[in-house]
Amino acid sequence: MNVNDTEVIFSILADEGYDRTEVMDEADVILANTCSVRDNAEQRIWGRIEQFHQQKKTRPEVVVGIVGCMAERLKDALLDSRKVDLVAGPDSYRSLPQLLRDIAPDRPQINVLLSHEETYGDIRPVRIDRNGVSAFISIMRGCNNVCSYCVVPYTRGAERSRDPRTILREACDVFASGYKEVTLLGQNVDSYLWKGEDGTTVDFADLLEQVALISPELRVRYSTSHPKDISDKLIETMGRHDTICKCIHLPVQSGSDAMLVKMRRRYTRAWYLDRVAKIRSVMPDCAITTDIIAGFCGETEQDHQDTLSIMREVGYDAAFMFQYSERPGTLAARNYPDDIAPEVKTRRLSEIIELQNALSLESNRRDVGKVFRILVEGPSKRNPAELCGRASNNKMCVFPDTAHKAGDYVDVEVLSCTQATLMCRLV
Ligand code: 5AD
Ligand code: SF4
């Protein structure tokens, strides 16, 4: 999501005549687009601010700006460091040109107003991906869920959906310029809802279907579904279209009902497993991936075991796994002590990671012998005589070949695997 926001920022600044550089010494303006979801993400940015400050010592005219969630969360505290000239929250990117014009020595600029309407729907993001094959498209902003551990509703504001006409136009545009895959982005795509002037509505399943029908050559992915909201209609829509990739990211967070209540996730373990069963009944080959938090407030050893057991029960194909990081101002920070000792959090997280590594390997082994249509992304990182690309289930496939190029679809047979990669041959 931040990559896509950066693309929006580049577009707004390009209209003002700014050019993009990745060479810091060359830049007149340095912007860091930031994440607040865990403390370590913020700590990295404080390190970067020090680095930018070194630039200012030799080039006092350089402008240093912090944008995104950390700007929204810390506001003036960033300016108080006296190392930052600009602070702009996620809904204020249209004001960046004005803010940049108004900056003067000892006159830093800040805009952290959140909006109920801003979706940047009319802005054509300047793509910064490197492969020219796969593009992100934001379909909504903000989140109305207030999971108790999560800072996102405070930094990104209330949920709002983008006009589907602008989404379809953007998808058609990127396809026309050579992209072969789009990923539709939202904090909770299942609550996407657009009400037209004529009273008609477009929900996420409708939107996904419309994008899926653009071309048989354009694949569609999306992120993220919320287990409490993922509908039969969405699952059945996915099953109907080959262009919709068969991979669902369904963050479980914990396998314990007590933790799920405290996390305010508003589903139970049984409900979650029922959704998984529905997905598997419609799409037996659909990959399911997840997010897991280890060591949330009051988590007992039994709660932790429940997380390990739901992981085994679902057999996740991949997972993002984190230690709980208390975020100031959230419901959890206000109501529950962050009482799991750091070494216990670390141990539980490593058990979760170890289990997931085994599950990922098992999942990859199940694919040996299968034939997948993959979208070539380019040469593999390790060997220039090999190409790599993803199967519909999002697994990375590597195969010897130099004849094809990024953006081609090819069929490969899986010969062997590691935990992270499927080794294949061209069919
Ligand atoms: N601590 C740890 N992980 C968190 N996430 C969100 N907030 C926190 C937090 N305070 C994780 C969740 C979410 C993912 C994007 O980040 O697992 O799904
Ligand atoms: Fe955060 Fe929950 Fe919203 Fe996801 S759904 S962004 S975890 S509040």
Pocket of ligand 1 (CB under 6 A): 37-38, 149-150, 251, 253, 291, 293, 322, 324-325, 327
Q: For position 38, what pLDDT does the model report?
A: 97
- Beta strand extents in 186-342 (DSSP E only): 193-195, 201-203, 219-223, 247-249, 287-294, 318-323
Residue 418's φ and ψ, nearest 5 degrees, are: -115, -170
pLDDT tens profile 155-193: 999 999 999 999 999 999 999 999 999 999 999 999 999
**Percent of the chain predicted with pLDDT > 70:** 100
Res. 131 pLDDT band, cuts 50 70 90: confident
C-beta of 265 in contact with ligand 2 (< 6 A): no
Q: For position 141, what pLDDT does the model report?
A: 97
Mean pLDDT to the nearest integer, 378-385: 92
Average pLDDT, the chain: 97
Tally: H helices and E strands in the chain: 14, 19
Instruction: State both tokens at 220.
Output: 């569609």
CA pair distance 291, 265, nearest whole angstrom: 13
Calculate how far, in angstroms, residue 380's C-alpha sits from the geometric centre of ligand 1: 31
Mutate-to-test residue for ligand 2 from 72, 187, 296, highest number of ligand atoms within 8 A of CB: 187
Calculate how far, in angstroms, residue 394's C-alpha sits from the geometric centre of ligand 2: 23
pLDDT tens profile 209-262: 999 999 999 999 999 999 999 999 999 999 999 999 999 999 999 999 999 999
Determine the atom of ligand 1 nearest the C-alpha atom of 150: 7
CA pair distance 341, 274, nearest whole angstrom: 33
pTM greater than 0.75: yes
Calculate how far, in angstroms, residue 277's C-alpha sits from the geometric centre of ligand 2: 23
Q: For position 129, what pLDDT does the model report?
A: 74
**Percent of the chain predicted with pLDDT > 90:** 97
